[in-house]
Structure formats: C-alpha cells, structure tokens
Amino acid sequence: MKRVLLSSLLFLLVWNLYGQTEDSLTNSYKWLSIDYGAHIESVDSKGATPLSAGVFYASDIFLHNILDKKVGFNKWQTGITIVNSKAVGLVFDIFFIPEGLDVFISDVSKNDVRGPYNFKDITDSHFYLPPVNSDSIIIEVRGSASLFPLLNLHISEILVMSKPVIHNYHKGFGGSESCEINVNCSEGDLWEMQKKSVVRILLRKNGQAYWCTGTLVNNTNNDYHPYLLTADHCGNGASEYDLSQWVFYFNYAFEGCDDIAVEPELQTMTGCRLIASGGDEGDSGSDFYLVELLDNVPFSYDPFFCGWDRSVSGAASGVTIHHPDGDVKKISTFNNSATTADWNGSGVFSHWEVTWSDTENGHGVTEGGSSGAPLFNPYGYITGTLTGGLAACEEGLYGPGTGPDEPDFFGKFGYSWNQNGSLASEQLMPWLDPQSINPAFLEGLYNSDIPVASFYADTAVIIGNEISFTDRSAGVVEEWNWYFEGGIPETSNEKNPPPVSYSSFGAYDVRLVASN
C-alpha cells in the first residue's frame, strides 16, 4: 500500500579506523561505510499493493579479507555502516565456517545479537541474515587462529531498510496510526488462540522488501503442517530465490494494552515455498497466496493453526488481526454483517466487504502492512484475507473517499477453496483437505495438551430472550464447567451449554473452566 521512489544511485566505500574503549568489542578495527545514495519516499495508498520496506543492493564483500584480529584474543572483527539505512540485512552467496569458529553479527550497542553461526549453518545456497535494527553492524569471529584462513564469507547483497525492524515507540511504538488497537487490549480477550496464528511477514520480491500479514492454517490431517495464508498481491512475482528469504515474525505483540518502549521478543523463521495462489493479485479472483514454511514451527513459539469456514454467508460480526505498517499486532472489530462484493469493479463477487466499528479502546482499521490479514467470524474461523479498501483512521487520510466508516475488502476463503481456477496450484482445497472429506468448516489446531478456555456469545442480550454460548477452547479438553451469573440456568458442564436467559437488566459475569 506504499511504493518506493529511488533517486540516482551513488556507491561509496569509505574505510575508517575506529578506536574503542576497553570494554567495547575491540580496541581498533576497520569500518566499512557504504552510501548507496538511495532516498526512499513513502506514498500512502489503500490499493492492492504491499507496503514497501526496503531495497536489496548488489554487493561484493569478502569478510575474511577485512576482518581485523583483536590483539591478545582469538577474535576478528569489522564494522559496516549503510548511510541513511534504518536497518540492515545481509545476503551471503558463500557461507563457509570451519568447525571450531563461531560468527556473531550485531548492532553496535549489542541490543540485537545474532549467532553464534558455525559449521552447522553451512549451506550450498544463499544464507540470509534478517535485518539488524541499526544502520551499523559489527561482525565478529571467535575461535582458533589456525582455522581462520579457512573461513569464507561473501556478502552478495545488502538489504537497506527504509524503516526500522524494531519500531519507534513514540508513535504507538511503530509507524501505525493512532486509532489502531493493540491485540491484547480488551477487544482481543476472546481471540487468544487466533492471536497466536497471525504473523508479520518481511517479504522479498523483484529486488525490494515489503511488509505484509499472514496466518497459520490447519488442514484436515490435523498434523501441524506449516501452511501459511496471505494475499496474492503480497507474493505475486516472487521467485523461488525471493521466497527463500521471506522472514516470518511470530507473537510480535505487546503483552498488555498499553504502548511501551520494550521491543517484543523476536521469534522468527526464514524461508518458504509457494503452494498455490489466485495468481491475479485480486483483479479477477480472491487474492489468496498459500505458502509452506521450510521448517515446522517450533513448539516454543506456541503456534495456533487456525480453523476456517468456507460458508457462502457473510459473518454477522468478527475481527481482523494484523500488522499495520509492520507494527506490533493490532485488532480491528466489525459488528455489522460482512456482505458479498467484488474488488475494484471486477464484477466477480469474490470478496467480503466489511466496515469497522468503534470499540472500547479506539476505532481500529487497516493500513499498508495489513495486507493478507485474516477475517475471523464469531467462531474464530478464517473467512477471508485482506486485499485492500478505503478504511482509514481519519477522513481523507489516503485521499477522497477514505475514512473510518469506509469499507475494506477480504478475498473469500470459500472462493479461494476451488473457484479461482481448475488447477491444484490455483486452489486451497487440495492442500487444506488432503483427506478429501470436503468439510464446510474446520476447527483450529493448537500444539499443546494444555487446555485454553475460550468461548463465543453475543454480548447484547434482550431481557427474557435466550443466548447461546459456543465453546472455542483449544488443547485437550475433557471437562467444561460454566458459570452464568444471574442466568437461567446458572451452571452447566456440557461443552456447549443449553441456551441461557436473563430476567433483569445489568452486566453479568460468565466464566468457563476447561480442564483435562
């Protein structure tokens, strides 16, 4: 939803010799300063375009030729500064580390330290170091001096980021607008599992980097297969080489509702392969892009693989969870039914149209970087993926016709199922239904035996009318204990209890204890 404008390129290499204090990384070492002369200007839009994040530049740096040995220690170091960059990523086309040497890469203050990398990380193809949040990085090698001549590291590309990977908290921590709502505010209380499924994506295609959002999805094998769903306009045009360098950030969210100055812990995975896509960036289809991560998601990341619903009926209410402007995870709520729509006048009714609602902590919308975010119905199932729209925090923020009460459009999950084309590479069905049972919906999957209680119900009730409560708990659950304050009945031990009625006006507590 933003684009990059580059001025003429100027490439400068400047050698400096930096003196450091005794408790610094080194007493003296070479420092390489590079100025690509790139000026990145952001142009806001709400179309089907991913949010620009940076540019990859060709490089030709053999690190083993420029590393300086620290006197009295088996350490070698060098520094690289990329002028005007907000963060720096490195692509190695030669990455050979002999057994007995360790490589560390960090920012100057050592707030972001990567490594140790060693012989176990050797690859015959490219090795990608996701961006370090600084314009300057330090590369350090430790180990036996006799092994150093065998080290062979060659930087073939440098990613120059236009915005920090770790954002500035002074503007809601990241670059997103002030109306956005952190996912762990009260609006997110009923979406604990879904939060764990949504990831921030730093993707690469056509020599540039972009921010998008994606979601882990379950399949009928219920086997934790690392499928992830995002938007075709995010990934369309990415090569196999590009996909190998996509970075996925899990659980990138504040623990509470307030913006704080502490960066969430970085839990990342790198690389994926394309499985299926709509193939037209939403111009005549549902704009879906299904990838397979190159490794299984670590259980330590506590992932949830979302369920889905391919119903032809629009959800009565729900939320999207997303990373606007590449920021920490946010949540936006809709309380009016999603309606069927086409995208950008295509005439193909492949999308859901929703408008966002005021809630306790703001009026969340979507922005650049939200592309590919899931649309959840009240039962916590994915029903669509974000293409774009006219929603904005303020009237006219992205031009005439944009504002908080304007619609956004999500490609229908049901259309992505089997309506974009006849080939397996154009459908979700062959991949998310390997059992060929053709379900209308599928429950999510949590990789833990520990039960996590969750349920859905309408929060506005007419006195005397009945309200239904639907269990959405995850993990292995064998017992359900419900308590309905002021309700008839007051308790239940069924998974989905009988309808409950309330005889008088008020605010009432409902509790569910799920156990095994």
How many other CB atoms are found less than 10 A from the CB of residue 98?
17
Q: Same domain, yes or no, for 422 and 316? A: yes
Domain assignment present for 419: yes
Domain assignment present for 34: yes
Q: Same domain, yes or no, for 460 and 370? A: no
pLDDT in tens, 431-481: 999 999 999 999 999 876 667 777 777 766 777 788 888 887 766 788 999
- pLDDT for the residue 459: 64
- pLDDT for the residue 71: 64
Q: Same domain, yes or no, for 195 and 309? A: yes
Domain assignment present for 2: no
Prediction pTM value: 0.83
List the domain range (segments joined by +) for residue 92.
Answer: 12-161
Place of tokens 């193909």: 348
Detail the DSSP E strand segments found in 150-232. Answer: 152-161, 198-205, 208-216, 227-231
Q: Same domain, yes or no, for 108 and 226? A: no
Domain count, the chain: 3
Q: Measure the CA–CA gap between 336 and 356, rounded to whole angstroms.
A: 8
Domain assignment present for 7: no
Q: What is the CATH number of the domain that holds 30?
A: 2.60.120
Confidence of residue 3 (pLDDT cuts 50, 70, 90): very low
Q: Same domain, yes or no, for 391 and 461? A: no
Q: Which residue has the higher pLDDT, 305 or 42?
A: 305
Report whether 3 contacts 45 (CB < 8 A). yes
Q: Same domain, yes or no, for 139 and 271? A: no
With 80 as the cut, is the pLDDT of residue 310 above it? Answer: yes
Q: Which of 109, 131, 161 finishes a domain?
A: 161
Domain assignment present for 4: no
pLDDT in tens, 376-411: 999 999 999 999 999 999 998 888 999 999 999 999
- pLDDT for the residue 468: 86
Domain assignment present for 6: no
What 3-state DSSP class applies to 501? strand
Domain assignment present for 30: yes
- pLDDT for the residue 40: 52
Q: Could you tell me the two tokens for 165?
A: 């990977």
pLDDT in tens, 174-231: 678 889 999 999 999 999 999 999 999 999 999 999 999 999 999 999 999 999 999 9
Which residues does 182 contact at the CB level (< 8 Å), separation at least 6?
A: 188, 253, 254, 256, 257, 258, 259, 328, 329, 330, 331, 361
pLDDT in tens, 412-438: 999 999 999 999 999 999 999 999 999
Q: What is the CATH number of the domain that holds 460?
A: 2.60.40
DSSP 75-86: EEEEEEEETT-S
Please report, for residues 28, 108, 234, the alpha-carbon distance to residue 141 in angstroms, rounded to integers and kept in the order given. 15, 15, 37
Residue 277's identity, in one-letter code, is: S
Q: Measure the CA–CA gap between 467 and 276, rounded to whole angstroms.
A: 40
Rg over alpha carbons for the chain, rounded to the nearest Å, is 25
Domain assignment present for 214: yes
- pLDDT for the residue 30: 72
pLDDT in tens, 53-63: 999 999 999 99
Q: Same domain, yes or no, for 58 and 116? A: yes
